[in-house]
Amino acid sequence: MRLQSKHDPYDGLLLLGDLIYDTGDAALVEERITTPFAPITSAGARLLPALGNHDYQDGEQKQILEALKRDKSWYAEMVGSVKVIVLDSNQVENNEQRQWLRKVLSQPTPPGTWTIVAMHHPAYSAGAHGSDLAVRKTWSPLFAEFEVPLVLAGHDHDYQRSLPQDGVTYIVSGGGATLRPTGKEDFTAVSTSTLHYLDLHADDEKLVGRAIDPEGAIVDTFTINR
Using one digit for the tens of pLDDT, what is the confidence trace for 71-84?
Answer: 999 999 999 999 99
The overall pTM is greater than 0.85: yes
**Structural domains of the chain in order of their starting residue, each with its CATH number:** 2-225 (3.60.21.10)
Q: For 77-128, write each residue's pLDDT tens digit.
A: 999 999 999 999 999 999 999 999 999 999 999 999 999 999 999 999 999 9
pLDDT of 204: 93
CA distances from 70 to 59, 105, 108, 123 (A): 16, 21, 25, 25
- CA nearest neighbour of 120 among 93, 154, 145, 78: 154
* Residues lower than pLDDT 70 in the chain: 1-7
CA 30 to chain centre: 21
Half-sphere exposure of 69 (CA within 13 A, CB side): 6
pLDDT of 9: 86
Instruction: Indicate the length of the chain as a whole number.
Output: 226
pLDDT of 7: 61
- CA nearest neighbour of 144 among 119, 168, 118: 168
pLDDT of 118: 98
For CA atoms 13, 205, 212, 174, the dihedral sign is positive
